Structure 1
Amino acid sequence: MRWPKMGEQFKRKAAAMLELPGEVALNLPKVIVTGRIQVIVENHRGIVAYDRECVRLLVEAGEVAVSGRDLVLRSILPDEVIVEGEICAVRFL
């Protein structure tokens, strides 16, 4: 078994034993979708691309892409981004 995979398994088991949320222990993004009007992405690493049809955010395991119409970045904080507009899809790239 490869070392990185063993490290991830250890983190998962430790998080479960300590009852820690996965986004905290494993550095995963937390994505909250409210209907078709808002997406909140916590634990991001920055904005890769932004226009009125697509917002791409860098996360630990790749990217999160929010696509839709009339998208607006309502809030940009060091650990959270709020995207509003007519949301059509949220994808992990």
Structure 2
Amino acid sequence: MLRRKRNLQSLAGLLEIPQDIVLDLPRITMLGNKQLLIENHKGIIEYTPSLVRIKLNQGELFIQGSDLTLGNLQAEQILVEGVVQEVKYDV
């Protein structure tokens, strides 16, 4: 499995393809502590105004804060808005 992953990384580099696409990795973009955009997710596990748990291909993403809301819900993309205090990637 590890060898295949390395081969895919090498292939992505040669073909100039982003590794997140080839390796099915999430893309996480944060704008200050107000917005967090998660692309290539596998679904929402838990949602409260102080905690959002998102399933990823490998593990979970924990977002803690206050007044958290979900916006722009799409099959491959979630926008979390509010005051983000902590982001934890658990594999």
| TM-score for both structures, normalised by structure 2 | 0.96
Q: Matched residues in 1 for 2:35 and 2:27: separation?
A: 14
Q: Which runs of 4+ in 1 moved over 3 A?
A: none
Q: Which residue does 2:33 correspond to in 1?
A: 36
Report whether the alignment pairs 1:68 with 2:65: yes
Q: Which residue does 1:47 correspond to in 2?
A: 44
Gaps of 5+ in 2: none
Gaps of 5+ in 1: none
The count of aligned residue pairs is: 90
Root mean square deviation, CA, Å = 0.7
Q: Matched residues in 2 for 1:61 and 1:14: separation?
A: 21
* Identity within the alignment, %: 30
Select which of 41, 53, 74 maps to 1:56: 53
| TM-score for both structures, normalised by structure 1 | 0.94
Q: Which residue does 2:75 correspond to in 1?
A: 78
Q: Matched residues in 2 for 1:32 and 1:80: separation?
A: 11
